[in-house]
Structure 1
Amino acid sequence: MNPISKIAGTAMALMLVSSLVLSGCSKDKTPSASAAGQNGLEVAELRYQGNVGAVTYPELAEDLGYLAPLKLKFIGNTISGPQDIQSVVTGDTDFGGAFNGAIVKLLAAKAPITPVISYYGVDDNTWSGYYVLDGSSIKTARDLIGKRIAVNTLGAHHEFVIKEYLHRQGLTQDEINQVTLVVVPPVTTEQTLRANQVDVATLGGILRDKALERGGIHPLFTDKELFGTFSAGSYVLTNEFIKNNPKATRKFVEATAKAIEWARTTPREEVVARYEKIIKNRGRKEDTKAIKYWKSTGIAGKGGLIAEKEFSTWVDWLVKEGTIKQGELNPKDLYTNEFNPYLNEAK
């Protein structure tokens, strides 16, 4: 593990220990109980973090009317999946989402959470590339030794993909440790690459497409090339929340699943128009230009159904890395599709 990743991992572990200790005395997790009772649910609202200039599927579900009578309470934005799900553990939010590999690491640390629905993934239209400047001396994985790669956060999707690429290309663990991952806000990643402040930039979605329009860059590899089509991340709830709020849990998952299918089956232009309306109406002073580049959900399972391989892949990877022991985690026990309305259809 390179020094940056090691520090991040240690910090995450310490914060997890603290959060688990504090969970018994965290703030009230059932706001507006009386209002919720009138609607037949245990809670009236769900606290969450959003993404600047983007629309999450729970937000889409609320706008489409699928989530009612539940309401969402926005508490801020994040660009980090690990941070998002840690906020769930500490009781600052009710749900959050992250890359499945990051979730597995938290589950190995005994975090009391359960993934309940997929919310992003990789397909022919939605993927991330790891880009170098045209004319760069970097042609192969071995050329990355001693180089710097920009990622949005540590311990999540891009770190796993990069390390898998390096493993597959035959680099030793010592050589992989010499590849430095640098956290750079996604909106400035392209600029950082063009200014030669990093050697490789992780780009996806609009940021990738706009950078390609400007030219002068090309991908060294992509996550789609490595893993094909798959759901990559899940929303999680705490086990306590699921136990105490089964009706609200089912409502949240059902509404989110329906929103995913709406986005999957509705003409792209209509989806983009809806997203633009949501962004404008919520009044967060955001630019809607990015949403025009939306192409697909990227989610593999209907309604966000989670497939076992979407967790077994990362369990096996962490065993290979020496992070967890063989047999320590059973992928089948790490998630649930119980609340997803498309489960019976899939069976």
Structure 2
Amino acid sequence: MKHLALILAGSLALLACSKEEPAPEPVRPVLSVEVKSQDQANLGRFAGYIQARYESNLGFRVPGRIARRAVDVGAEVEKGALLAVLDPTDQQNQLRAAQGDLARVQAQWINAQANARRQQELFNRGVGAQAQLDIAQTDLKTTQASLDQARAAVDQARDQLDYAQLHTDHAGIVTAWNAEAGQVVSAGQQVVALARPDIKEAVIDLPANLAERLPPDVVFLVAAQLDPGVHTTATVREIEPQAQSATRTRRARLTLADTPAAFRLGTAISVTLSSAVAPRIELPLSAVQEVDGKSRIWVIDMQNQTVQHRDISVVSRTASHVLLDGGVQPGERVVSAGVNSLKPGQKVKTDEDSPR
């Protein structure tokens, strides 16, 4: 009996100890983000490219068949460089014809000049008639006018022959060819595009509704897509007044604050639009828990590695983020995933910042 009593007493003592020391709750790993105050509103990011501000579409001043192209796309050319040549046969024939007409009229002018001089001498000796002298002088003036016209025709034919060669009027880079060797082109038809590389700008397409409500303090950050470390700021130079019917976008041309060497013509860029706003706090939508019609978040006590919930007021929300007007301070850390399984005072193990 004595041994039985001792055994029962020991069992009761063990039961008492087990009730006084419950098993600790497991530490829960969570993802978290640090609360940061934002004073810039992101209006969007758009793809674009670098383009020359000034680009000329050049063509021949006379019609003809292109005999050859002297340069290819991407070539850098100096002022006066030869770009393309037409078959000069027609222009050469016109020049020969004009030169033949000039030679004929020159012969007529020499005869008219000699006749007028002879009639003047006869009239001075008193043996010539005034009427004959007037006719000779009139023929001389008429022939002189024909001679001037023939000389102008020769000059024009020489110009037409020169126009069969297409030269640049400024240094630039060939960006496009719109005609090939052997193709017949008309006068003024666009044959080649020539860009001036000294002044460059960024070109993007903006949604029509955004282009119409751009804030006056909007900031454009322009970065190279292949190397975002190469970047600069820009301002709006021009926005097309009408939206493109297919995409409902309006093309915007931006003046660069400076032009990094990596910003070559045709470089793909990414343009981020932002605007200054009153300081605000933005959190991932996954950080917000809805309980009884109220919104709350779980704030981490970094010293004790525990969490406590806190009611917040949501100003607006998107598919991925919420905007708060307070309830949390910059520098605090908030659970960003797994909020529905947390309890007040629960131990947690934080990980690196999750994507915002």
**TM-score range with shorter-chain normalisation?**
under 0.3
Higher helix share: 1
TM-score, normalization by structure 2:
0.19
Structure with max Cα Rg: 2
TM-score, normalization by structure 1:
0.19
